[in-house]
Structure formats: structure tokens, C-alpha cells
Amino acid sequence: MSHMNDFSQRVVAWYDAHGRKHLPWQQQRTPYRVWISEIMLQQTQVNTVIPYYERFMQRFPDVLSLADAQLDEVMHYWSGLGYYARARNMHQAAQQIRDRYQGLFPDTFEQVCELPGIGRSTAGAILSLACQQRHAILDGNVKRVLARYFIIEGWPGVTKTADQLWEKAEQLTPLQDVAKYNQAMMDIGSGICTRTKPGCSLCPVNDTCQANVQHRQKEFPHRKPKETLPVRKTTMVLLRNANDDILLQRRPPAGIWGGLLAFPEIPANQAIDQWCNTRLGITILQQVVWPEIRHTFSHFHLDITPIVIETRSNPDRVMDQGEWVWYKGENETLGGLAAPVKRLIRELEKQRA
């Protein structure tokens, strides 16, 4: 066990000398502030997160302001960060904290893990960083550090490998200075023990890291077995009204881009003029088919054919339904925009200019 103590002591000493201490969520630490940062940092780099985090905190400074907000507005502030289920879960969790815990962030591990969108590692991070409780964490960066240090075989997405990594993470987490230790492990993983070209000479535990000693850093952690992603195709309608507003449709809450604003999609077996007539009650003056663009999700590619439509009439059927929105520019439209939709809107605006 002394080896384990030595590891955590070195990591904490490294943090005192070199760790990050000036990130926005490290100031006035509360479980709420740490929680929002942890969710934003899933799948997203620190430098990308900082401006989003600061804007989000200005608008939603505490659990109640987030819980009481409309989901559309939350999505609007999240727009561009991707993986939108994170924002929907966060909004739901805030409402549960308001309704079950009188707006006070719960402070037991089990209660925190029950909240939507919070798993074992995120709960551990919130309670260790904000409440000094002793919990291990295992985000992507920490997995990489431990997989190399102990040369743990197997892709971390497999249960057997993940269990081994958790066991090591639990053993190494110290009784004191747990917030410093966990923050240091994340910092070492993101700044030193990087996926490619790790800076092993800067690492506080480099002399006992088995991958470093054996020059096998490149092998660990094992990569996910390659699989070819299936391709789906869709046609999107880019329609402007006489005022130059762009017609968008709110996606259903579940599924890809759940709750976001996107262009309407035409079913594969329907002609576009027929769809515009029956669905919107308009006649097409002119249509231009743009080149296909590809958007890649974690589990499939989506090939989008955009069709730009001109019409003189305003679609009368879409005026009073909650699912349709006239986009007048980002600041005036509440609700998040899916990434390829943003890209196509920019293209439309460029062409108009």
C-alpha cells in the first residue's frame, strides 16, 4: 500500500506546483458550479468550454434559475457544444433538485448518481471537488493515465477493463487532499499524458509508470475495435418567407438533435412540391439542389441533401403550431440549432449577401 500512498503524494505535490487553479469553476466552488463544468467537459476541451460556461453561469447562476428556465432557453445557451442530451438531462436534474431537495444540491453519492446524466465518475468529481468527500473519478483522461501506469490490457469501454481501472482508481485515491488529487489526475491526463506524444519527462510518476519504463506508451489504452459506420440519407428543405426569415422545425424531444431546431426533412418517397403543398400549403416558384453535406454522429454518418426553395406565399399552416419557428437570426430565436443547420444557415446568409 505504501506504493499507492507514494503515487498519490507525488500527484498532490505536482498539483501544488503545476496544477490548474484558475479555471472559472474552481472559483467560488459549489456543487452546482462544479456539476455544470463537469457536464460541459464531457467530450469537450477546456478551452472550448470556458466561454460557454461563463455565459451559462451569468444566465443560470444557481439550480433554481436553471430549473425554472424553459428548455428552449437552456438549449440556446448550450447551442454549439454538441451532445445535446447533456443539456436536456441537466435541465431535468435541476428540476429534480428543486422538487426533491428544496433546490439544494444533494450531498450523498447515491442521491447524486440518481440524477439524470450523472454517472459514477461525474458524481465522484462533484462531491470530491466541491465537498471534499473521498470519491474516485475515472474520466477519459484518468483512464489513460491508469491504463499506461499499470499497462492495463483491453479497450476501457469493455466492462472487464473498466472494472480493473475502477479498482486502481479506488485504491490510489488518498484519504486527504482528494480534491487536489482528482484535479491533478485530470490535469496530468489532459496536459501531460496526452493521447499522442505524451510529455513523460514532466510526469510526477514517470519512473514507476510501466508503459514509460517499457516504452509502450503508444499501446495504451487499447483503442476501440474499428467498426464501419452506417450511412443514412436525408433531404432538408431550406425555405425563406417574404421577410427573409427561414423556416425551422422543432425536433421531437427524443432521438438525434432532440428538442433542437432543424430544417424540415422530406420523407424519401415524397416529391418536394407535393410535400410543400400538403404540409405547408404553398406552391414552389423555384428550387435549387445544393451539393450533399455529411454530418457524422458517434454511431452513423448522415448525408444531407439541402434543397433551397423560393415561394411568394407565406406558409399559412405553420403560423400557429409550436413545432414551427421562423428563424430571424440567432439572437432572436430561442432554442438550440443542430450543427449542420447552423452551417447551412450561414451558407444561405452568405448567398443572400
CATH code for the domain in which residue 49 is found:
1.10.340.30
pLDDT the model gives residue 134: 98
Of the listed ranges 51-60, 143-152, 287-296, the least confidently predicted one is: 287-296
Q: Of 184, 219, 254, which residue constitutes the final position of a domain? A: 219
pLDDT tens string 243-269: 788 899 989 888 888 888 999 999 888
Statement: residue 71 has pLDDT above 70: yes
Determine which one of 38, 167, 219, 292 is catalytic: 38
The C-alpha cell that represents 41 in the structure block = 467537459
Provide the β-strand partners of residue 305. 235
Statement: residue 330 has pLDDT above 80: no
- How many residues belong to the chain? 353
- The Cα 192–Cα 195 span in angstroms is 9
User: Does 102 fall in a domain?
Assistant: yes
User: Does 224 fall in a domain?
Assistant: no
The alpha carbon of 14 is separated from its chain's Cα centroid by a whole number of angstroms, namely 29
How many structural domains is the chain composed of? Answer: 2
Note whether 25 and 153 are same-domain residues: yes
Confidence at 319, pLDDT banded by 50, 70, 90: low
Note whether 190 and 238 are same-domain residues: no
pLDDT the model gives residue 253: 83
Domain enclosing residue 139, as ranges? 2-219
For range 297-307, the mean pLDDT: 92
Contact criterion met (CB below 8 Å) for 78 and 72:
no
Q: Euclidean distance between the first and final Cα of the chain, in Å?
A: 68
pLDDT the model gives residue 202: 97
Asked if 38 is an active-site residue, the reply is yes
Note whether 259 and 169 are same-domain residues: no
For residue 109, count CB atoms less than 10 angstroms from its CB and return exposed for 0-12, middle for 13-18, buried for 19 or more.
middle
Note whether 328 and 247 are same-domain residues: yes
Which range scores top for mean pLDDT: 159-173, 265-279, 325-339?
159-173
User: Does 226 fall in a domain?
Assistant: no
pLDDT the model gives residue 321: 62
Note whether 159 and 123 are same-domain residues: yes
pLDDT the model gives residue 283: 83
User: Does 157 fall in a domain?
Assistant: yes
For range 41-52, the mean pLDDT: 93
The cell 500527484 sits on which residue? 11
- Assign residue 273 the CATH number of its domain: 3.90.79.10
